Structure 1
Amino acid sequence: MGRVRVVIVDDSATMRTIIRGCLSRDSEIEVVGEAADPYEAREVIKAQSPDVITLDVNMPRMNGLEFLEKIMRLRPTPVIMVSAEVAEGAAASIEALSTGAFDCVPKPAEGHPLDAFRELSEKIKAAAQTTPRTLANRVQHKPGSSDFSPNGRIIAVGASTGGVDALSSLLSAFPAHCPPTVITQHMPASFTGSFAQRLDNQCAPRVAEAWNGAPLENGQVYIAPGGSAHLEIGGSGKLVCQLREGDPITGHRPSVDALFSSLARQGPNVVGIILTGMGRDGAAGLLELRNRGASTIGQNQASSLVYGMPRAAHELGAVEIQLPLGEIPAAALSLCTAGNRRKAT
């Protein structure tokens, strides 16, 4: 593949210059066009057919989120939202990621702007390797049967890039009385509360940010808060959520590895699931789970927005069974159904 072709869409000429300057430092990226609003962008995109688009939220004539929906519906292209709205307006970020944006990068509030965009080039190159999941072909599920009878197993899930869409798909298939479910999704601190609330509104189970001492109960899903702590599961009797401060693990805090490792002593009472994401966080922890008798499921390459974390886990031997995203809910729930204590085969 040649250089990644990028179109920058932002109403500020100064910001377009800053983004162009940042990207010009990477020889693998070429900015092939700019636009000040979605109407200009539409013509530039038609003419240039970029590999990736950077898109602001607040723009004249059409909101960036509305334009993102049109891109995903009419001309699916990897999009990275670059906006002040995604720094403080977590709801805008979750909306963008749910609509199909690859990732969100906040504009710099202060300091050196090029430093604030130091990860933008890598995200653009990663986005160029993906095929956006259009609004029309997203996996849709009906909630699981209300007759579901849990067998006491716990579901633990790890995800990163692409996880907002994947987790929405997974949990939308869970019944209200689902197994206790704990999730670490790589996400900034300002996002996880809004994300949990969105899932709670969309899905049958109760979904909330985890807190110290939160009990693992049927029908409850906990999302690891972003920020300064790892979500772990412990307790001498009834299992509860524990937020443990500590250094990042595999570059992340909260870390999927930390969550999985904390559940390893539960062995066969756990179903571990690793979903789409960049990097390898969760691979070692999932292997630890499998070695202790847990059932482990990995999202397959074809259905992953980024086949990084699932690939790392699979290559390490941590994944017992690989499945398309659309088949994972039924497989996990089957393993957690009363009378089924066998592992997946």
Structure 2
Amino acid sequence: MRKITVVIASTSPVNRVRISKLISTVPGAEIIAMTGDLSETFTISEAREPDLVVISSEFQKLDEFKAMKSLFYALDSRWIRVETDEKKLPLAIVHMKSGQQAPEPVIDFQMSTQVVQNQIHRAMLILRTYGNQPAPTPRKVEQTAFDRLVVIGSSTGGVDALLTLLSEFPLDCPPTAIVQHTGRNFSESLIRLLDRRCKPQVVGAQDGLILRPGMVCVAGGIEGHMLINGTQSYRCQIRPGPPVSGHVPSVDALFRSVLPLAPKVVGVILTGMGQDGAAGLLELRRASCITFGQDEGSSVVYGMPKTAWEMGAVQYRLPIQKIGAEVLRVCAQGSASLSQMAGDEKSLTVR
């Protein structure tokens, strides 16, 4: 087996030692770090880029693990669970590089050395969503003609979706504001990841920040709602308040804040659980905003975009791999391009 760099993550110092003994039996495995919480785990994984992260089962029971899982995928790091208590979690179904589907590999302290080695070998053969999908076909866009603001809302599965969408954006992309539901501990890591992987400058939401072409502003896990106002320039505001549609920050709050600018806005709703953003997107569409929604086939959780589609908020429904280019085309050419888009895209659903 080739060399595999490994990070071990467990809240228990005792379990970290026990896991390290398991991993030390795997030929080629090199433990480069051991961590005690999810935030530290991602920070180290981001900096060291391990081949494999071995995570104790108590972490998977935390709500924050959903965001952590997406960030691992974006880094193209594999991970495997170690069962550390008697109540075992259900096995997820994963896609293997062979094209087959199979139960996710797990290890526990009762397994033999050979079984542990086999399970880790299987973990290294899991197909990762972002790192293995075909790159979107580049399209020529009149980059000097962007005159719109782009607002995006996403939740579960949103990290991969944003990486795919923003991979189409050029250095001088339209000013873009994004609300991504994520835990507070992962906000800075998410921003660094997007900024490292994307051509435009990606920054965290700050009160008073002016959004300019070539800038993507992300609110994730902040203590307040991100609002955008202004006519000559787009200014970010962070306003404290109760949850809107169950969330702080809220996609609905962002979308409603740009209602006065609706004819110059492109609204996008991506994969996610629940319905945050659906009502706000409907209000935007009624105010002459052009709206896009991710389709079911490319969504990790078809909740937010499904609700928006069923409400009539989504004007154009597309796979995530095609949304970025079409948003740019609308921003560059305006509504005149929409009839061409409808005729060109076999995977496009228009309402």
Match of 2:207 in 1: 212
Matched, 1:271 2:266: yes
Secondary structure in 2 matching 1:227: coil
Match of 2:3 in 1: none
Q: Distance in 2 between matches of 1:274 and 1:247?
A: 22
- In the TM superposition, 1:187-202 aligns within 5 A as 187-202=182-197
Q: Distance in 2 between matches of 1:66 and 1:98?
A: 13
Q: Is the 8 A contact 2:224 2:238 kept in 1?
A: yes
Amino acid at match of 2:178: I
Report the CA distance shift for 1:11/1:200 in structure 2 as closer, same or farther (over 3 A): closer
Q: Is the 8 A contact 1:230 1:253 kept in 2?
A: yes
Amino acid at match of 2:269: I
Q: Is the 8 A contact 1:166 1:276 kept in 2?
A: yes
Q: Distance in 1 between matches of 2:307 and 2:149?
A: 23
Report the CA distance shift for 1:14/1:237 in structure 2 as closer, same or farther (over 3 A): same
Secondary structure in 2 matching 1:218: coil
Q: Deviations along 1:258-307, whole A, 9 cap, x unmatched?
A: 11111111121111111111111110011011010001100000011111
Q: Distance in 2 between matches of 1:81 and 1:64?
A: 21
Secondary structure in 2 matching 1:194: helix
Match of 2:288 in 1: 293
Match of 2:250 in 1: 255
The number of residues matched between the two structures is 275
Secondary structure in 1 matching 2:143: coil
Bigger Rg over Cα? 2
**TM-fit CA distance, 1:236:** 6.1
Q: Distance in 2 between matches of 1:283 and 1:101?
A: 33
Amino acid at match of 2:272: G
Secondary structure in 2 matching 1:315: helix
Match of 2:115 in 1: none
Matched, 1:98 2:86: no
Match for 1:148 among 143, 153, 157? 143
**TM-fit CA distance, 1:144:** 6.1
Q: Deviations along 1:35-90, whole A, 9 cap, x unmatched?
A: x957999xxxxxxxxxxxxxxx69xxxx9963469xxxxxxxxx998549x9999x
Q: Distance in 2 between matches of 1:205 and 1:218?
A: 9
Match for 1:66 among 43, 51, 61? 51
Q: Deviations along 1:110-148, whole A, 9 cap, x unmatched?
A: xxx9xxxxxx98xx79x7799985456424247665851
Secondary structure in 2 matching 1:182: strand
Match of 1:23 in 2: none
Q: Is the 8 A contact 2:52 2:77 kept in 1?
A: no
Higher mean C-alpha displacement, 225-234 vs 200-209: 225-234
Q: Distance in 1 between matches of 2:57 and 2:201?
A: 29
**TM-fit CA distance, 1:231:** 0.6
Unaligned runs of 5+ in 2: 1-8, 27-40, 43-47, 80-84, 96-100, 102-126, 343-351
Report the CA distance shift for 1:331/1:102 in structure 2 as closer, same or farther (over 3 A): farther
Q: Distance in 1 between matches of 2:56 and 2:159?
A: 14
Hey, which bits of structure 1, 4+ residues long, moved more than 6 A? 9-16, 38-41, 86-89, 91-94, 100-103, 127-132
Q: Is the 8 A contact 2:74 2:131 kept in 1?
A: no
Higher mean C-alpha displacement, 231-240 vs 169-178: 231-240
Taking only the aligned residue pairs, the percentage that are identical comes to 39
Give the TM-score normalised by the residue count of structure 2.
0.65
Report the CA distance shift for 1:146/1:161 in structure 2 as closer, same or farther (over 3 A): same
Match of 1:174 in 2: 169
Q: Distance in 1 between matches of 2:293 and 2:235?
A: 25
Q: Is the 8 A contact 1:102 1:161 kept in 2?
A: no
Q: Distance in 2 between matches of 1:179 and 1:256?
A: 19
Report the CA distance shift for 1:254/1:11 in structure 2 as closer, same or farther (over 3 A): closer
Unaligned runs of 5+ in 1: 1-8, 17-33, 42-56, 70-78, 104-112, 114-119
Match for 1:325 among 316, 320, 325? 320
Higher mean C-alpha displacement, 92-101 vs 297-306: 92-101
Report the CA distance shift for 1:189/1:290 in structure 2 as closer, same or farther (over 3 A): same
Match for 2:233 among 224, 234, 238? 238
Give the TM-score normalised by the residue count of structure 1.
0.66
Amino acid at match of 1:96: F
Secondary structure in 1 matching 2:51: helix
